[in-house]
Amino acid sequence: MNNKKNIFQQILSKKIITNIIYQDDLVTAFNDIKPQSPIHILIIPNIFIQTLNNINHKHELILGRMLLVASKIAKKKKIHKSGYRIVINCNVHGCQTIFYLHMHLLGGRQGVNIFF
Ligand code: AMP
């Protein structure tokens, strides 16, 4: 187990205290420690999955739940109408720094269009 993976595992095991804003049987959500927008929340599976490369059909429920929870949190934070961005970074070219699968929920201000 490396340190980067440890950070999110320690959050789940409450060894690192953070503001957990949502948790159910499959996923946990908490505020990003270094927010890149006014709302920046991370949604992670409760079981360790290293990257998006490591998912299989057994993870379908978890992956679906991550999106569902992102949508629910966006509504709760009242950013659903203005809009928001969901990001999953994978490995080095994807800028993944914590090797524990996580989904970023970013909102609260106009994002930069990275595709044009
Ligand atoms: P990524 O670059 O996709 O791997 O994103 C990792 C994210 O984890 C970054 O946005 C970090 O700011 C965030 N992060 C790192 N450590 C913590 C922590 N202890 N609590 C909350 N977020 C963290």
Specify the 3-state DSSP secondary structure of 28: strand
User: What pLDDT, on the 0 to 100 scale, is given for residue 5?
Assistant: 53
End-to-end CA distance of the chain: 38
List, in order of start, the domains of the chain with CATH numbers. 3-107 (3.30.428.10)
Ligand 1 neighbours (beta carbon < 6 A): 7, 16, 18, 32-34, 42, 89, 95-98
Which atom of ligand 1 lies closest to the CA of 18? 20
Instruction: Compute the distance between CA of residue 13 and CA of residue 17 in angstroms, rounded to an integer.
Output: 9
Q: How confident is the model at residue 2, as a pLDDT?
A: 56
Which two structure tokens, joined as six digits, stand for 21? Answer: 């804003």
Cα of 103 vs centre of ligand 1, distance in Å, is: 10
pLDDT at residue 3 in the model: 52
Nearest atom within ligand 1 for CA of residue 97: 4
Task: Give the integer Cα–Cα distance in Å for 31 and 42.
Answer: 6
- In order of 27, 43, 85, 99, 109, the CA distances from 73 in angstroms are 13, 10, 12, 23, 16
| Cα–ligand 1 centroid distance for 41 (angstroms) | 10
Q: What is the pTM of this model?
A: 0.95
pLDDT by residue for the chain (116 residues), tens digit each? 455 558 999 999 999 999 999 999 999 999 999 999 999 999 999 999 999 999 999 999 999 999 999 999 999 999 999 999 999 999 999 999 999 999 999 999 999 988 87
